[in-house]
Amino acid sequence: MVLYQISTERFDSWVQGLEPGVMMSEVSRRSGVPEPTLYQQRKGERVKPTTVLKVASGFGRHKLMELAAFEGFGSLWPVPEGVPWLACVAPVDIVAELMGRRNIVEPAPDYVFVVAEDACSRWHSLIDGGAKRMDVAEHLGVPKNRYSRLLVANALQFETVLGVAQYFGVSPHVGLVACGYLDLADIGVPDAAEALRSVSTEVLVEELKARQRVFVRSLA
């Protein structure tokens, strides 16, 4: 699998572009990346893309736009239109939306979006065309059982999500949201509740049916 890493020289140059003269201790404080982690990555000439995302966020920059400036990540920005973000919405939230449309329940005024527990599995089912997970895992060089466990747990590594997307020739954005590396706002969905209300009832019902099929398939 391709190693998606960034050279120390390029990372340091980018950091100075964010704020000239800034020290790594301040970068650590703002980004939440421990200073020893920054040191080890920079020393090994292998700065992780997730580090760039955290630093960009800590400096108030758009995470994807900043990461896309690095070699190998240009395809991450702009976000393609029509990404299947609904895969990241929990079935219970879809049901609540449908029930609200029938005046069975009142919409929650303090709705807070949380990534669905089956988000990564659902994203995978949308892009894999029925391919066997063992074949995908073999291509990526990941043990099959481990790949399946991480997929079900929304815990694929950043690089693995990119590898999966590249394997199937699709955008990785929804997979990155599913695994917690991005937020829906990062891929053009700033208000999940409002976006959900804009989806037709027919599409929401079909999504629920599909989620059930994905769950059954995961047990096979």
Q: Over the chain (220 residues), what is each successive 10-residue block's mean pLDDT?
A: 79 97 97 97 95 97 95 94 94 89 74 88 93 93 94 95 96 97 94 92 93 63
User: What pLDDT does residue 1 have?
Assistant: 47
Question: Residue 115 pairs with which residues in a beta bridge?
Answer: 89
End-to-end CA distance of the chain: 27
Structure tokens at 189: 């969905």
User: What pLDDT does residue 57 have?
Assistant: 97
User: What pLDDT does residue 156 have?
Assistant: 97
71 in helix, strand or coil?
A: coil
Question: Distance between CA atoms of 125 and 208, rounded to whole angstroms?
Answer: 13
User: What pLDDT does residue 102 have?
Assistant: 85
Structure tokens at 75: 């395809």
Domains of the chain: 8-76 (1.10.260), 85-219 (no CATH)
User: What pLDDT does residue 101 have?
Assistant: 86
User: What pLDDT does residue 113 have?
Assistant: 82
Question: Distance between CA atoms of 11 and 52, rounded to whole angstroms?
Answer: 8
Given a contact cutoff of 8 angstroms between Cβ atoms, the answer to whether 171 and 160 are in contact is no
